[in-house]
Structures are given as structure tokens and as C-alpha cells.
Amino acid sequence: MAAVEHAFTLGKARFGSGKPVLIGSLFYNPIER
């Protein structure tokens, strides 16, 4: 297994904590949602 972290913090968001990080997109919206 490569040397990657199982849980990590990126900025203020914690990935792998048990609750999902919601990721929203900006500047590309092919459909009016």
C-alpha cells in the first residue's frame, strides 16, 4: 500500500472523520439546477 494518509485535514475540512465532506462546484453549471 502506498504511503497515503487514511484520514486527513485539507484546510478546515476533515476527510475520513466519519461524516462526509460536501463538495460543491463553482463556475461550471451546464444545467440550471
> Could you list the residues that contact another protein (CB under 8 A)?
1-8, 10-33
Measured between its terminal Cα atoms, the distance across the chain in Å is 39
Q: For the CB of residue 2, give the shortest distance to another protein in the complex, in Å.
A: 4
DSSP 1: -
Q: What is the largest CA-CA distance in the chain?
A: 41
Q: For the CB of residue 21, give the shortest distance to another protein in the complex, in Å.
A: 4
Grid coordinates belonging to 1 = 500500500
Q: For the CB of residue 30, give the shortest distance to another protein in the complex, in Å.
A: 7
